[in-house]
Chains A and B, each alone.
Chain A
Amino acid sequence: MGTDRYAYMSRLRMADPVPKIWFSLAVLIVCLMCDSIAVGVFTLIVMAALTASLGGQKVKTVLRFLRVPLAFLVIGCVTIVFRPIGEGADALWSVRLFSRWTWGITPEWLAVGAGVFFKALGAVSAMYFLSLNTPVADIVMALERMHVPKLMTELMELIYRFIFVLSDAAARIRTAQESRLGYTGFRRSIDSLGLLSSVVFLRAWKRSDRVWSALESRGCSGALRTLPQEYSSGARLYVLMCAVCAAQLAVLAAERWLLH
């Protein structure tokens, strides 16, 4: 998975994941609640900078991941900004469509669009702080400590692990099919893909039996109990959490004060 590879290289890798989760979550929630362009921009920059400085990720990596949701965001925000407007409305730019409707961009909706854009990007940046510094396995373990039901965390752990095993199997089957011209032409591709899915399903089914045997032979008594590596304390992340949240609120106050 894209971010996981980097999470394992992060300097915060061995920091306790629970404070990392709370930190990202708190910053995310404040960013969403403030509903302000300035706070969005601030969160975006600060969290990306922290991922790069504290986590030791390359700036290029962080920017590359921030670009991922950009396409969705731009499409979403264009549809907010560019909309039908009434005759004689105060438009920055407008166009007559089929000489019946007037569509255009007004300052109010431009502000709404920009607000959504930066709020979302700020939130994404806060989540990247978590996912670029914490491997999924650690997040799952932390969720367990945060009293998420064990059934769910165990499922998450197994699903995450076996996504890789099954996608490996699927990739091998696909190569085998391709090497025998399984994907030439539309019809044959559909047939081959159907075959591939059913075979992967069957293999997963058979594998589940063997996995269960293996778990049982190691003394599994129904619960997947393991011990993680010893984490370093993440207490300073709580301090950082308070500082960033306070700064977010200060930015909000400053924005209000400057606009009024």
Chain B
Amino acid sequence: MKCAIEAKDLCYTYEDGTTALDHVSFFAEEGCVTGILGSNGAGKSTLFLNLNGVLTPAGGEVLLDGEKVSYTRQGLTELRRKVGIVFQDPDDQLFSADVYRDVSFGPVNLGLPEDEVRRRVESALELTGISDLRGKPTHALSYGQKKRAAIAGVAAMQPRVMILDEPTAGLDPQGVSDIMKLLKKLRSELGMTIILATHDMDIVPLYCDRVFLLSGGKMLRSGTPEEVFSDPEELRRNHLRLPRIAHLMEVLSDRDGVDVDRSAATISAARREILRLLQEETDA
């Protein structure tokens, strides 16, 4: 296993004295989708800003490709080139009234020559499916389109790690599945490592290879989605829940005494289980 980015014993305290991160350790395997589960105020955003060098940790360290990040001007530029953040509210990120110019901002800051910037902007617009919106003003875009423009702005920098804060919040079901497909494409076509914070539990078993459970600034647990979902009480204590399908399996198993695999959290896994049970029934 190769870690694209890693945090060891990260601590961060805000100016007003609130501890946002308390010895948090975290890693994201290269080419994988890593989820961070946590309720509001768990410290997800603070962790992200630390991973990208906008905030400097008070303790612990961030490792990029196994090397310790240096907080010099050069080190930070390098870090931001390799690690991009897509913020939750696209209105926080889109600062220009012109979509094309907003997407060009990151590549220009990387100091790339003009034709390379244009090439990257084109491919980012293409990738996120907003090529036809390039001439539109930012304020005329729908929420989902703004979200895509924000992703394009980060994708144009061609980072190795893309961090997304609640990428599905506020989108309609079609929008959610479009964005998640886009993230899969980023991973498979460009080999990007994806880190996403979410409390949309239903997408976790579908898209995440590994999840971390963050609460009150502490990392409580990490593992595959199945491992983390094996302790539903812990999730509930932290204002989260099981995916609906996994919850159904839990109820079937606990209340109805049906012998189902409780780790089945997706429709396809549940389908396999139901078919298996039906088969057993007919066999018996």
A: residues with CB less than 8 A from B are: 4-5, 8, 13-14, 135-138, 141, 157-158, 160-161, 164-165, 207, 210-211, 213-221, 224-230
Query: By the criterion CB–CB under 8 Å, are B85 and A214 in contact?
Result: yes
Known: A219-B80, A221-B109. A138 touches B114 (CB 8 A): no
14 contacts between A and B (CB under 8 A): A5-B140, A164-B138, A165-B91, A210-B87, A211-B92, A215-B95, A217-B49, A218-B106, A219-B106, A219-B110, A227-B117, A228-B100, A229-B100, A229-B134
Tell whether, in the assembled complex, residue B110 and residue A137 are in contact, meaning their CB atoms are under 8 Å apart.
Answer: no
| Interface residue B8 (Cβ < 8 Å from any Cβ of A) | no
- B156 CB to nearest A CB, Å: 9
B154 touches A218 (CB 8 A): yes
B80 touches A136 (CB 8 A): no
Chain A residues, CB < 8 A from B52: 217
B23 within 8 Å of A by Cβ?
A: no
How far does the Cβ of A194 sit from chain B's closest Cβ, in whole Å? 25
How many of chain B's residues have a CB under 8 angstroms from any CB in A?
A: 43
How long is the Cα–Cα vector from A213 to B84 in the complex, in angstroms?
A: 12
Q: Is the interface of B mostly helix, strand, loop or mixed?
A: helix
Asked if B200 is at the interface of the complex by the 8 Å CB criterion, the answer is no
Hey, which chain B residues are within 8 Å of A13, CB to CB? 135
Are A161 and B85 in touch, CB under 8 angstroms?
no
Is B270 on the interface with A (CB-CB < 8 A)? no
Given A225-B108, A226-B105, check contact A217 B97 (CB 8 Å): no
Q: Is the CB of A226 within 8 A of B96?
A: yes
Once A137-B97, A157-B97, A217-B85 are accepted as A-B contacts, the answer to whether A210 and B139 lie under 8 Å apart by CB is no
> In the complex, are the beta carbons of A137 and B154 less than 8 A apart?
no
A228 touches B93 (CB 8 A): no
B160 at the A/B interface (Cβ < 8 Å)? no
Docked-complex contact B101 and A137, CB < 8 angstroms = yes
Within 8 Å CB of B100, what residues of A? Answer: 227-229
- B-side residues, CB < 8 A to A, are 49, 52-54, 77, 80-81, 84-85, 87, 89, 91-98, 100-102, 104-110, 114, 117-118, 121, 134-140, 153-154, 157
B105 near A225: Cβ-Cβ < 8 Å: yes
Chain B residue nearest to A226 in the complex (CB): B101
- A229/B135 in contact, CB under 8 A: yes
Q: Which residues of A contact B135 (CB under 8 A)?
A: 8, 13-14, 229
Assess whether B109 is in contact with A218, with CB atoms less than 8 Å apart.
Answer: yes
Given contacts A4-B137, A8-B136, A227-B114, whether A214 and B93 have CB atoms under 8 Å apart is: yes
Out of B106, B137, B153, name the residue touching A135 (CB < 8 Å).
B137
Q: Which residues of A contact B136 (CB under 8 A)?
A: 8
Contact among B53, B95, B102 with A211 in the assembled complex (CB-CB below 8 Å)? B95
Docked pose: A214 CA to B109 CA in angstroms: 13
Cross-chain contact A158 with B95 (CB below 8 angstroms): yes
Bound Cα distance from A136 to B101, whole angstroms:
13
A219 touches B138 (CB 8 A): no
Q: Which 7 pairs show the lowest CB-CB distances between chains A and B?
A: A219-B109, A164-B139, A226-B101, A227-B104, A137-B97, A137-B98, A210-B92
Is A218 a contact partner of B105 (Cβ separation < 8 A)? yes
Q: A212's closest neighbor in chain B, by CB? A: B54
In the bound complex, what is the Cα–Cα distance between A100 and B11 (angstroms)?
85
- Taking the nearest CB of chain B, how far is it from the CB of A172, in angstroms? 12
